[in-house]
Amino acid sequence: MNKTNIKALLVDDDVSAQLLLNQIIDKLNTGISLCAVAATVAEAVEAIDTHEPDLVFLDISLPDGEGFDVLEQVTFHGFEVIFTTSHDEFALKAFEVSAIQYLIKPVKTRDLDKALQRFTAMRGSINVQNHEAQRYTQHRILVPDAEGIHILRCDQIVRCEASDTYTIFWMHNGRKLVASRPLGSFERLLNDQFFCRIHSKHLVNLAYIKLYLRGKGGSVVLEDGTELEVSVRKKNDLMLAIHNFARSL
């Protein structure tokens, strides 16, 4: 990734984890400057309010509480969070507090690189965000069915549903199209258009989700009242996709 000027703070009581993260950061040559290291909730709160970092690497389990306690107690809130933890059961809660990424220890170089790229992109100008929103509105795909080839605006597609080797398109105006291609081929076309595969059968436009219902995998409720199951293995992908979509608006 390109060099940037990032003032970061590391919160972790595991010295070996601290050293590993430092090594990866140096290896990536990101331009990150660690302004402080904290090992407890109390130390982290004081360090964040004192140094006012751009980015905080935050462990979940700390000797005097949880990483979430840090976020509740700080006065300064002008930073982004990348969770680094040995526990995968807190991923949903992490995205609920707008974490950039949730990395499982031992942190891998490629995963941290992706997280830092996401952080750098989020710091881009509002003009970039507006451009992305405009591109989403104007983008179109070709959808073949028995009638012919339809040219559909991506922002008018509510969801796509797999039906054997066919794909059902549910449109904003209530129209339904049955395309003569499998869902996977359309997933590739819509991958960068704010769509998320939440289940083997469902590809959903994030703009039409109004509610996520908790559960093992959970489910989403769309603006038209349709409720769709979220598979367990797609749950974290959905949380991250919703988080990134909200930040692009």
H, E, C per residue of the chain: CCCCCEEEEEECCCHHHHHHHHHHHHHHCCCEEEEEEECCHHHHHHHHHHHCCCEEEECCEECCEEHHHHHHHCCCCCCEEEEEECCCCCHHHHHHCCCCEEEECCCCHHHHHHHHHHHHHHCCCHHHHHHHHHHHHHCEEEEECCCCEEEEEHHHEEEEEEECCEEEEEECCCCEEEECCCHHHHHHHHCCCCEEECCCCEEEEHHHEEEEECCCCCEEEECCCCEEECCHHHHHHHHHHHHHHHHHC
CA 186 to chain centre: 21
Task: Find, among 1, 238, 204, the residue nearest to 102 by Cα.
Answer: 238
Contacts with 231 (C-beta within 8 Å, 6 or more apart), sequence order: 198, 199, 200, 217
pLDDT of residue 4: 52
> What is the side-by-side strand order in the sheet with 176-179?
176-179, 166-171, 157-163, 202-205, 195-197
Domains of the chain: which residue ranges? Answer: 6-123, 128-248
Residue 2, φ and ψ in degrees, nearest 5 = -70, 150
pLDDT value at 78 more than 90: no
What the block records as the tokens of 108 is 């891998």
Q: Which CATH architecture has domain 6-123?
A: 3-Layer(aba) Sandwich (3.40)
The model's confidence at residue 246, banded by pLDDT at 50, 70 and 90, is: confident
For 102-161, write each residue's pLDDT tens digit.
898 899 999 999 888 888 776 653 334 444 444 444 588 888 888 888 889 899 999 999
Cα 203–131–190 angle (5° rounding)? Answer: 20
Res 7 pLDDT > 50:
yes
User: Residue 211: what are its φ and ψ, rounded to 5°?
Assistant: -160, 135
Residues 158, 172 contacting (CB under 8 angstroms): yes
Answer whether residue 229 shows pLDDT above 90: yes
Rounded CA-CA distance 195/190 in Å is 6
pLDDT bracket for residue 242 (50, 70, 90) = confident
> Which CATH superfamily hosts domain 128-248?
LytTr DNA-binding domain (2.40.50.1020)
- Greater confidence (247 vs 144) lies with 144
Q: Provide CB contacts within 8 A for 188, sequence distance 6+.
A: none
Identify the pLDDT of residue 136.
46
Q: What pTM value is reported for the model?
A: 0.53
Task: Give CA 35 to chain center in angstroms.
Answer: 26
| Summary mean pLDDT of the chain | 85
- pLDDT (tens digit, 9 = 90+) per residue, 193-217? 789 999 999 999 999 999 999 988 8
